[in-house]
Structure 1
Amino acid sequence: MTAITPQHAVPHRDAAPRARSLLVLAVLVGANFVVGALGSLATRTAVDGWYADAEKVPWNPPPWVFGPAWSLLYVLMGVAAWLVWRRAGWSGARGALSLYVVQLALNAAWTPVFFAGRHIWVALAIIVALLGLVVATIVAFRRHSRVAAWLLVPYAAWLAFATSLNLGIGLLN
């Protein structure tokens, strides 16, 4: 007679895919925070330098708002990309995830151009293109996951707000 092993004693079959899935989530969220960390290096001298002295629009928030706002957005962005990857995989969502990578690269480019380079009008062109790419990413993500698309909406809204700040600084200075 053979002993019957209870199901819970057998290693879970999905343990490896679950571990891989969590690793992909960590990489996607982590990549966003790397972009943010690189951006913060570009802002160090500018925030207390020329940016502090620049004329700003009345709706410009205090500097302390930006860190928490971007931290939340980076998490939402990473989770959104992960949901798309989880639903369709890299090959099944190649177009959507490629848009995501390109917008992330533009996101990374804006901060040093604006803060370190003080190229306000070039930065405005970058952020307008970035906003367009994020809207395209939302549309592409929606084909794979409505939740993922909605998770990018606060990012698009923040970028629209940031675009108004960029434009205001350009016009006022």
Structure 2
Amino acid sequence: MTTFIPTLTLPRAVFDHPASSILLPVSLGMAVGYLSSRSNQKQTYARVKNPPYSPPSFVFAPVWTVLYGVMGYAAYRAVSAGLSLSATSEQSDLARQGATLYTLQLALNLVWTPLFFVLRRPVEALVDIVALLGLNAYLAYTWGQVDRISGLLLLPYLGWLGFATYLCAGTGYLNGWDISDKAIEGEGKGKGKAKEQ
């Protein structure tokens, strides 16, 4: 069982209003995407070998925006329900523990893009996303005990994380776990486009 750790948890004010709870992950995700765009995410994605069923690069931004919004709303619902006057002490504890899990998973989520596209470290990115998937499965279970809808709202996120884990592992494997600038530059010098499916 997890513990509520105030220093590793977003402030309560973030969870008190649906707008702040939704806009925080959406804006953080957009900021990380924007700051990481200098690493030419689309170019890297197009040049590395991707596993079968890899979607076009334009799919990721809208999907993640929706998922960030839904996870933010789930956070608002779970914390509001768990810390309401009608909640049991067990629900309150689970809501607080879930708030810590949520904060940690959000940090892991935001670290993935820089790990993969900026630092070009697919092994570390895979470790990050596997941890993220496990943490969110536990979060869905925890918050589902406080507010069933909150737990259910995390299911699309879990599904996408499962798919993203497959994409990360597949891309790493197909590229020999090396997507560095050197490998990409070599492909541009007469080796042709590396994307094969």
What TM bracket, shorter-length normalisation? 0.7 to 0.9
1:100 equivalent among 95, 99, 102: 102
2:21 paired with 1:28: yes
Alpha carbons of structure 1 residues 96 and 22: separation in structure 2 relative to 1, 3 Å: closer
- TM-score where L is the length of structure 1: 0.82
Q: Give, in whole Å, the separation in 1 of the partners of 2:20 and 2:112.
A: 22
Q: What is the RMSD computed on CA atoms of the aligned residues? A: 2.0
Q: How much has 1:50 moved relative to structure 2? A: 2.6
2:73 paired with 1:76: no
1:39 equivalent among 32, 41, 44: 32
Q: Give, in whole Å, the separation in 1 of the partners of 2:97 and 2:16.
A: 21
Query: What secondary structure is seen at the aligned counterpart in 1 of 2:49?
Result: coil
Question: Equivalent pairs: percent with the same residue?
Answer: 38
1:67 equivalent among 61, 67, 92: 61
Q: How much has 1:34 moved relative to structure 2? A: 2.4
- TM-score where L is the length of structure 2: 0.73
Give the letter aligned to residue 82 of structure 1.
Y
In the alignment, which residue of structure 2 is the partner of 1:110? 112
Alpha carbons of structure 1 residues 21 and 27: separation in structure 2 relative to 1, 3 Å: closer
Check conservation: 1:81, 1:97, Cα contact below 8 A. yes
Corresponding pairs, count:
154
In the alignment, which residue of structure 1 is the partner of 2:48? 54
2:151 equivalent among 149, 152, 166: 149
Q: Give, in whole Å, the separation in 1 of the partners of 2:26 and 2:168.
A: 22
Q: How much has 1:26 moved relative to structure 2? A: 1.4
Check conservation: 2:45, 2:57, Cα contact below 8 A. no
Query: What secondary structure is seen at the aligned counterpart in 1 of 2:146?
Result: coil
* Greater C-alpha Rg: 1
Q: Give, in whole Å, the separation in 2 of the partners of 1:97 and 1:21.
A: 10
User: Runs of 4+ in structure 1 displaced over 4 angstroms?
Assistant: 20-23
2:128 paired with 1:134: no
Unpaired segments of 5 or more residues in structure 1? 1-19
